[in-house]
A and B are shown apart, each in its own frame.
Chain A
Amino acid sequence: AQKITQTQPGMFVQEKEAVTLDCTYDTSDPSYGLFWYKQPSSGEMIFLIYQGSYDQQNATEGRYSLNFQKARKSANLVISASQLGDSAMYFCAMREDNNNDMRFGAGTRLTVKP
């Protein structure tokens, strides 16, 4: 069974600073994908970044990068140059290739301070 752990219920960051949101996972499937989503108060799920288990390099998408440490089973999200609009809930998720469903961590509420 897969399990996703986000240990930071809430995080604060100063505008223009970088912040790291932690995510660890557990799976017995050798092939899987890791995802990060942003959920503002409207409730929509906004895809941020994806990392495949066989990808050799860390994924990057604009200000978002994923610090993938496979041996430690961690997939931390790094947001650089934080903006006020980054304030939202952030969810880490995993999808095993043997299953097609997606499981989510508990989430981290990020607040960007001006």
Chain B
Amino acid sequence: GAVVSQHPSRVICKSGTSVKIECRSLDFQATTMFWYRQFPKQSLMLMATSNEGSKATYEQGVEKDKFLINHASLTLSTLTVTSAHPEDSSFYICTLNPDRSYNEQFFGPGTRLTVL
């Protein structure tokens, strides 16, 4: 069964609105989760590391005020795309490594965001 869920799986919104994407760990407590973005025909690019109970760590070039991350519990991290624009349209994927076991990395099914 699924270890990581994401909601919604697909969202279409108007330019200027904010969109929240949830990532839930179903089987593990995860102090750390990761958010990736994947543009069409491109690779997964790490956006930020979500840390439970503390601030997220953002990769260079990722606007922290635009992509708000909240990791309020050990099983839930949320990514909010604020004032979304068409260039934010992408596939967003969360992942976690629950206990740093080296050959385990669990991925959510992804959220496809389309901004009109």
Q: Does B32 contact A (CB under 8 A)?
A: yes
Report how far A45 CA is from B109 CA in the complex, Å.
7
Q: Please, which residues of chain A bring their CB within 8 A of the CB of B43?
A: 91, 104-107
Closest to B36 in A: A104
Are A101 and B34 interface neighbours, CB within 8 A? yes
Binary contact readout B89-107 vs A (1 if CB under 8 angstroms, 0 otherwise): 0010101010010110101
Q: Please, which residues of chain B bring their CB within 8 A of the CB of A97?
A: 102
Report how far A95 CA is from B44 CA in the complex, Å.
14
Are A45 and B93 interface neighbours, CB within 8 A? yes
Are B105 and A44 interface neighbours, CB within 8 A? no
How far does the Cβ of A60 sit from chain B's closest Cβ, in whole Å? 13
Q: Please, which residues of chain A bring their CB within 8 A of the CB of B112?
A: 43
A44-B102 CB under 8 A given contacts A91-B44, A102-B95, A104-B43: no
Q: Please, which residues of chain A bring their CB within 8 A of the CB of B44?
A: 45, 91, 104
Interface residues of A in 69-114 (CB under 8 A from B): 91, 95, 97, 100-107
Closest to B106 in A: A47
Are B109 and A102 interface neighbours, CB within 8 A? no
Report how far A43 CA is from B40 CA in the complex, Å.
10
Show 26 A/B contacts (Cβ-Cβ < 8 Å), sorted by A.
Answer: A33-B102, A33-B103, A35-B105, A43-B38, A43-B91, A43-B93, A43-B110, A44-B109, A45-B93, A45-B95, A50-B103, A52-B102, A52-B103, A95-B97, A97-B102, A100-B32, A100-B97, A100-B100, A101-B34, A101-B46, A102-B34, A102-B97, A105-B43, A106-B42, A107-B42, A107-B43
9 closest cross-chain pairs (CB), A and B = A50-B103, A45-B107, A43-B110, A104-B44, A33-B102, A104-B43, A106-B43, A107-B43, A44-B109
